[in-house]
Every structure is written in structure tokens, then in C-alpha cells.
């Protein structure tokens, strides 16, 4: 299995977002990861539905939209209409996780649930059959360029056991480098969000290949 790479446009040049999205598509990125932050659930403000809608014509790659907002449920439909393919909400930000996941799927989108570093994997137990993606935060959400939190490798391994044979993507977000990636793949990760690891140099294709171990 080849791990999927989802370059995060949080680390892209915001003055050239359309061009950057096309570049990471051509460089072999599997998904386009879009971090949505509200300045409330996390200490930063980023992209709204209008920007996603404007970017949608620039690539056919899936948009992996990560809602770091509270509450998320009132905005899910807006992001679905804007062109999201995966919509991921945070376990810590949603009082009614099951309802939100049902809503995402009812809109024809793939449903994801994200866990902060200190959130136990037990929160997944009763919603596994509503999930298409689990996103493990390996940094505290809100900013790019942070260092990987080592405890999340074992957490990924435990979640892999919970998933069993279900067709759920297991994605890791935060501080993933070419050196850390092989350990996460061994633990069971199937996808990586990569911001600075992809955008750190103009060789996006080489940086993506390095994360795959190629």
C-alpha cells in the first residue's frame, strides 16, 4: 500500500493559492488538505467556504476539509456545497458527534473525525461505522510548523486495531517528516497531512516522494 499524501495549503503562498493547488496536484499530491480555523476552537483564523469554492475548479483531487471550528455542525452544509469531498470535525468541538457524521454522509460526503493529542481513542468506539476517515493530530491544532508529538505513534497503532477491517482511512496531521513517516506507516497510518514538509522547497514532487519513502 502506498500512503496518501495530503499537502496542507495552510503552508502554501496565499497570494497564489490557485497556482499552488495546481502545483501540488501535478507534483503527485493525493488530496488537498484545507485547514479551517475559527480563532475560537483554535487560536488562528483561516479559510471559509468562498475560498474553497474558488479553488475547486483548479483540481479534480479530493478536498480534505478539516473543520477546526466550534460549533461545526451549522457550517457543514456550506463546506459540502463549496466542494469538500472529505469533511472532518473534531471530537472535542462537537456535543453531537454521531449527528454531525450522519449529516456529512447525508450530503454525499465522506465523514471524518479528528482527535487532539490528549484525546483518547475510546471516543471513536461508538461511531466507527459512521466514519470514512480518522484524523490523528500529532501536534496541537492551530498553527503549522510544529514538532511531532511522539506519543501519537502508539495512538495510531491502537486506532489501527480499533478499525480492524473497516474501510477507514487513518490520517496523521502535524510535524510529519520523511524520517517520522516510516514509523507511522508501520503503526497503520494510510495518509499524511504535510504542510512545511511539502512546501519547504520548490521541489514539491520530491518532497511528496520522500514522505512516501520513495
Hey, how many other C-beta atoms are within 10 angstroms of the C-beta on 79?
25
- The three cell numbers locating residue 194: 504535510
Hey, how many other C-beta atoms are within 10 angstroms of the C-beta on 106?
12
* Residue in the structure block whose three cell numbers are 510535524: 175
Residues 6+ apart with CB under 8 A from 21: 9, 12, 32, 55, 58, 59
From 30, 38, 64, 173, active-site residue: 173
**Beta bridge partner(s), residue 33:** 8, 64
Write a three-state SS string for 81-109. Answer: HHCCCEEEEEHHHCCCHHHHHHHHHHCCC
Sequence ranges of the binding site for substrate: 8, 66, 142-145, 173-175, 195-196
From 30, 35, 38, 94, active-site residue: 35
Sequence ranges of the binding site for a divalent metal cation: 33, 35, 66, 173
Its sign, for the CA torsion 97, 102, 103, 109, is positive
Sequence ranges of the binding site: 8, 33, 35, 66, 142-145, 173-175, 195-196
Asked about 35 being catalytic, the answer comes back as yes
Known catalytic residues? 35, 173
Amino acid at each position: 500500500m502506498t500512503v496518501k499524501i495530503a499537502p496542507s495549503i495552510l503552508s502554501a503562498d496565499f497570494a497564489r493559492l490557485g497556482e499552488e493547488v495546481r502545483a501540488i496536484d501535478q507534483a503527485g499530491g493525493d488530496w488537498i488538505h484545507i485547514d479551517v480555523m475559527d480563532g475560537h476552537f483554535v487560536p488562528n483564523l483561516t479559510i471559509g467556504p468562498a475560498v474553497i469554492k474558488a479553488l475547486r475548479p483548479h483540481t479534480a483531487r479530493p478536498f480534505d476539509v478539516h473543520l477546526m471550528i466550534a460549533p461545526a455542525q451549522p457550517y457543514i452544509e456550506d463546506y459540502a456545497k463549496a466542494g469538500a469531498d472529505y469533511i472532518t470535525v473534531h471530537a472535542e468541538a462537537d456535543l453531537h458527534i454521531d449527528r454531525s457524521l450522519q449529516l456529512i454522509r447525508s450530503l454525499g460526503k465522506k465523514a471524518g473525525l479528528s482527535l487532539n493529542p490528549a484525546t483518547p481513542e475510546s471516543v471513536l468506539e461508538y461511531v466507527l461505522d459512521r466514519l470514512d476517515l480518522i484524523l490523528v493530530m500529532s501536534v496541537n491544532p492551530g498553527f503549522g510548523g510544529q514538532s511531532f508529538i511522539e506519543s501519537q505513534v502508539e495512538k495510531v497503532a491502537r486506532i489501527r486495531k480499533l478499525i480492524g477491517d473497516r474501510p477507514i482511512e487513518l490520517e496523521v496531521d502535524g510535524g510529519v517528516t520523511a524520517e517520522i513517516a516510516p514509523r507511522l506507516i508501520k503503526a497503520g497510518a494510510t495518509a499524511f497531512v504535510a504542510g512545511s514538509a511539502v512546501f519547504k522547497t520548490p521541489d514539491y514532487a520530491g518532497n511528496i516522494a520522500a514522505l512516501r519513502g520513495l
